[in-house]
Amino acid sequence: MAQKREDLVAQIRSTLAKTGWFVSDPHNIRSISFDIIARRDKELLIIKALTNIDSLSIDDAEQLRVLATALRASPMVIGLHSGSGKLEDGILYSRFGIPIISDATFREHMVDGVPPFVYAAPGGLYVRLDGELMRRIRQDRNISLGALAEVAGVSRKAIQMYESGMGAMVEIAAKIEEFLNEPIVVPLNPFSYSPEMARALRAFDDFSGLNRDVFQMLKEIGYSVVPTIRCPFDALASEDEVLLLTGVEQNPNMTERKARVVGNISRVTEKKSVIFVRETTSVKSIEGTPLITQDELRRADDVDDVLELILQREKRKKA
């Protein structure tokens, strides 16, 4: 029987909990770019679970990169299969620059501390070599580039590139290791994602109504605003070291649900959360997530005014 995506999410959450991660609550919101955010000490993971990894869209991948950059997190997809078959265990895959591993590889890495050593790339399966160790062994033993290239069945230039950090196909690496009689293949860290400066996919012109008004006002008082798509929150607003997970909700019936989901994510990520609403309400926060009206934001002169409102309403919940 085919495994459901909901079961996969539950398995991932269980693995994280068993290994000491603080995990976001299930949000039960479909069509968003991630399923789980988890933190352990200073490590932060943003995880998307897919039974078929081919369903990862370029938009979701871009949004994972945006979030990872802003939150200083590691994005990851955990899946079961692709269109060509089951994901192999112990192999690191990727789509659109996002690391992908099987559920079994994830459990083995998290529970047993066994990392993957092989990654899939166009042309086959590859490993990463300790290029400095390889060069040192070769030079200490007076092995020329040509001699090692002949053993491996590659060019001298390829050996130089392996020593400079280029990955090698599994079969070639095996020949080099056997000839040198030394382990030179190094493990891969699926959490070592180094996000490039990400750009938002949508500009302010793509928004209308309350969203556009809120984003524009935040920009005018000094916040850098990155709109998000397919997320429980609608933007990331930052100023210096303060990052706000920012929600905008026009429907009063949905405010409480959004505030709870965004608030939970903010606690996991150790960032602040805020929901901007149109109508005045007697409720000033929901489970620690402040609610700020459009008029209150309009009256704010600078980022300190907004931050003061947020801090006051956070304290009201704690009191």
Q: For the chain, what are the domain ranges?
A: 5-115, 124-186, 204-318
CATH topology of domain 204-318: Restriction Endonuclease (3.40.91)
| Residue 1 pLDDT | 46
The Cα–Cα gap between 231 and 233 comes to 5
Read off the pTM. Answer: 0.78
Cα–chain center distance at 202: 19
User: Whats the size of the chain, residue-wise?
Assistant: 319
DSSP label of 143: -
Do 97 and 91 touch, CB atoms closer than 8 A? Answer: no
Q: Of 301, 148, 164, 119, give the one whose Cα is nearest residue 220.
A: 301
Instruction: Output the pLDDT for position 193.
Output: 65
Distance CA 49, CA 6 (A): 9
Q: What's the CA gap between 174 and 180, in Å, rounded?
A: 10
**One CATH from 3.40.50, 2.40.360, 3.40.1350, 3.30.70 for 5-115:** 3.40.1350
CB atoms within 10 A of CB 111: 11
Q: Name the CATH superfamily, with its identifier, for domain 124-186.
A: lambda repressor-like DNA-binding domains (1.10.260.40)
| The pair of three-digit structure tokens given for residue 238, joined into one six-digit string | 């930052």
- The structure tokens listed for 19 are 């290994």
pLDDT confidence of residue 28: 72
Q: What angle do CA 75, 63, 290 make, to 5 degrees?
A: 95
DSSP string, 80-134: EEETTEEPPTTEEEEETTEEEEEHHHHHHHHHH-----EEEETTEEEEEE-HHHH
Closest to 74 in 3D by CA, of 197, 189, 191, 243? 191
| 3-state SS assignment for residue 171 | helix
pLDDT along the chain (319 residues), means of 10: 81 96 84 90 94 91 88 93 91 89 95 91 84 94 93 89 87 94 90 52 56 87 84 88 91 91 94 92 90 93 91 69
* Residue whose structure tokens are 């929600």: 247
Helix (H) / strand (E) containing 19: none
